[in-house]
Structure 1
């Protein structure tokens, strides 16, 4: 992403990571004083490194340890091994690990989305779904990841997710990019004045290096 845009705080990011813990939102600092440390062109690499470390290592360490122990228990017992592999096809395992490779259905996406501050008849919502419908397959995947931290849907589609998705209206400047609360499947953006402005903002966050690094927290 352009360094000037990052330095203008267009992304509105600080060194924090938002997580859900026992049904409540919790903000974790990625480093001491992270709440007040704004991401800019000079520190964005440490920010991304810290975010990746927290999201994919620290935040899931306990769950991975339990999974590893359970899987080790299965592998160490011949009876459990036989039962496990007899009921599991290679396709089932692939779906469990990667989700569905089918193209994202925009109608299904829209049907599982609710609005706060907007209503479905608002012109901005109409523009939004029109823009999403014109996106490439890869852009849709990046947008979904930016929104939810999920890049591949379950086999059941959006109905297989743990929650519905939400679009929140913010009171921020039209210059700001959309933001997301991935733990709660929330996408937030202001009431952009034109479809061109909205399309430009969505184009920025659906770049692979932006949507998968800077846009989610």
Structure 2
């Protein structure tokens, strides 16, 4: 190859980035080798990287006879979901999932979307001690070093990896994101001081101070630091050496960078290596073979944020309205005008609850309503005016009777936009 030809090639692709990304999304196939592209993320954008990453999952089949069936008691959501998912052969999870809650008639994709959201919230609930939320961004999580208090914690990390991979495969936004230290380990990459800023702001600040201190001051041993770390386990403090003989090695101006690096590695790598490994194993169970690290390496952290969390923007009523069609109602009917006026006056939280009631989607894709699987629909029902709206979440349908006044409609919508009502429905 001519000297410099490869760099010229990539330079041309960077100049033609927009066109290249369109071609990737339109024509890239699962059978193609994409590694050469994935290694040069600067020639791709979010849509093309997401497209290439999603092709690392098996293609969902529509064979309803082979779906992995789950019947879950809401009061035992986490424990029963664990049994269904962690003990399943990975091949059976590739086909698809059929989800039903006990004593409820609802079935179908809407219920499955609700289950993904609820089980993910349970997995990442700090009270369950599996994951730790970052102090500066409570949406971000990494494995809890203290999770070992539960003898089954590693099996739950395998389960967690499978659930997150399945949510991605089914294109369900679950409302959580990973911290950088977790993301980098899943990608098999090194963690630096700057990477821990969100996960542990206090440790980050302390390490920065140690590195920036006057050499004479730190060489005076005024800090009294040695190559050890104090770890709390079951209410007691345990001293762990960061390297052999660490108790006898004093931190000074010559070895402080090594000390900081070892401290970070122990805190964010060694102490959670088993949970990360088991999460990665569970995630890999859902991917095509051998692509776990490649999946994460092919994405930026922000890409994964958008895929897992979805849009961080407030729900846009005009976008919502533009992606809604009507059955037996016309856009000019007073009930439709009242409806959108009421929605326009709702709080951000009320809109989220209404959207969840209507579709079982709590977090929109990053593209907004355009990214959903279909249009939304408003149907005219024949129920009496004293009845509340109902929903068929599988088909994104909201149904309500022709209420005689805006005040009555507002009262009915107020009832279903209460969190405990909108997030526990039984329609299909």
Is contact 1:145-1:151 (8 Å) kept?
yes
CA gap 1:211/1:91 in 2 versus in 1, 3 angstroms = same
Of structures 1 and 2, the one with the larger relative CO (CA 8 A, separation 6+) is 1
CA drift of 1:84 comes to 2.0
Q: CA contact under 8 A between 1:147 and 1:216: conserved in structure 2?
A: no
Q: Tell me the SS of whatever aligns to 1:188.
A: strand
CA distance in 2, matches of 1:138, 1:144: 10
Which residue in the other structure is 2:90 paired with?
none
TM-score normalized with structure 1 length: 0.68
Q: Deviations over 1:56-85 (max 9, x none)?
A: 28xx9xx969948772376984xx344322
Distance apart, 1:88 and its partner CA? 1.1
1:13-28 alignment to 2 at 5 Å? none
1:126 matched to 2:337? The reply is yes
Q: Deviation string for 1:137-168 (max 9, x for gaps)?
A: 00000000000000111011111111000000
Name which one, 1 or 2, has greater alpha-carbon Rg.
2
1:23-80: per-residue Cα shift (whole Å, max 9, x none)?
99xxxxx89xxxxxxxxxxxxxxxx8655997528xx9xx969948772376984xx3
Shift of 1:214: 2.8
1:49-198 equivalent positions in 2, closer than 5 A: 50-51=103-104, 55=112, 56=115, 67=166, 71-72=284-285, 77=290, 80-198=291-409
Q: CA deviation at 1:22?
A: 5.6
Residue 203 (structure 1) aligns with? 414
- Any stretches of 5+ residues in structure 1 without a counterpart? 1-20, 25-29, 32-47
Aligned pairs for 1:34-49 (under 5 A) are none
Q: Distance in 1 between matches of 2:63 and 2:289?
A: 35
With over 3 angstroms needed to count, the CA separation of the structure-2 counterparts of 1:201 and 1:156, relative to structure 1, is: same
Q: Provide, for residues 160-192 of structure 1, a one-character-per-residue CA deviation record: whole Å limited to 9, x for no partner.
A: 111000000011100000000000000000000
CA distance in 2, matches of 1:146, 1:176: 15
> What secondary structure, in the 3-state scheme, does the structure 1 residue paired with 2:379 have?
strand
Equivalent pair of 1:149/1:216 in contact (CA under 8 Å): no
Determine the C-alpha separation between the residues in 1 that align with 2:380 and 2:343: 17
How many residue pairs match? The answer is 172
Moved more, 66-75 or 152-161: 66-75
TM (norm. structure 2) is 0.36
Kindly state the Cα deviation for residue 216 of structure 1 after the two structures are TM-superposed: 4.7
1:10 counterpart residue number: none
The CA distance in 2 between the partners of 1:189 and 1:94, in whole Å, is 35
Give the aligned partner of residue 6 of structure 1: none
Is the CA contact (8 Å cut-off) linking 1:112 and 1:158 kept in structure 2? yes
* CA deviation map 1:70-113 (0-9, x unaligned): 72376984xx3443222111111122112112100000000000
Contact 1:142 1:151 in 2 (8 A): yes
Question: Gaps spanning 5+ residues in structure 2: where?
Answer: 1-60, 65-70, 73-100, 120-161, 167-280
C-alpha contact 1:169 1:190 (8 A) present in aligned 2:
yes
Whether contact under 8 Å (2:283, 2:292) holds in the other structure is no
SS in structure 1 opposite 2:331? coil
Deviates more, 1:162-171 or 1:64-73: 64-73
Indicate conservation of the 8 Å contact 2:358/2:396, yes or no. Answer: yes
**Aligned residue number for residue 425 of structure 2:** 214
Q: What is the rounded CA distance, in whole Å, between the counterparts of 2:62 and 2:411 in structure 1?
A: 37
